[in-house]
Structures are given as structure tokens and as C-alpha cells.
Amino acid sequence: MQEEYVKEVKLKEKSEEELSLDLIKSIIKTKNDLNNLNKNFEYAEGELIDFYLYQIKANQAKLNYLLKKAKKEGIVLDRVNEIEIRKKQYNENLKVV
């Protein structure tokens, strides 16, 4: 129970900018996941076809939801901003390793 409270407090402590950035990162990740699923679907056989179709449909619904949420909050994700965010994520991943 204490752990849930800590997570809730952490969420409230994030600034609007951090929340917007998290939303943008989620959109980018979902787009990447969707692209990978589509590529894998091209080579799927047998029962994997159904699996990839389900995953594609689920990720597309998630992406639609995130894009609507971003639009509602007035967040604009153009290609230039997306590239900059991807660079930052890449650099952060290099630091972790």
C-alpha cells in the first residue's frame, strides 16, 4: 500500500513539460512498435499471422488514443521535434550502458 502511494506522489510531482515529454516518448515508442510488428507480420506464418494481426490492431488503437490525447493537450509532434527527442533518448540509452 505504501508503494502505491509513493508512485502516485511521483506522478503528481512531474511538471507539465515532463508529462508532455512522456506522452511524446510513448507516441514514438508505439510508432516504432507498430512498424516492427508490421515488418514481422510480412514474414509470419501459420498461427503467428493471427498473433501479429492482434498486436497490430492493439498498437494502432493505443497510438490513436495517444495522438488524440496529445491533440487535446495541444501538443504538436512534428518530424523535427520527433528527431530531436529520438536523439536525446539514444544518448540517454548510451549513458545507461
Q: Would you state the cell numbers that stand for residue 71, as one nine-digit string? A: 491533440
Grid cell 513539460 is found at: 17
Q: Residue 86: its pLDDT value, please?
A: 74
In a domain, 3, yes or no: no
Q: pTM for the whole thing? A: 0.69
In a domain, 10, yes or no: no
Q: Residue 4: its pLDDT value, please?
A: 58
Q: Which residues contact 62 (CB under 8 A, 6 or more apart)?
A: 30
Q: How many residues in total does the chain contain?
A: 97
Domain range for residue 77? 18-96
In a domain, 82, yes or no: yes
Number of domains in the chain: 1
Q: Is the dihedral of CA 59, 26, 77, 40 positive or negative?
A: negative
In a domain, 2, yes or no: no
The rounded average pLDDT for each run of 10 residues, N- to C-terminus, in the chain (97 residues) is: 56 75 90 95 94 97 94 79 74 66
In a domain, 62, yes or no: yes
3-state secondary structure (DSSP) of residue 7: helix
What pLDDT, in 10s, does the model give residues 18-41?
888 889 889 989 999 999 999 999
Q: Which residues contact 50 (CB under 8 A, 6 or more apart)?
A: none
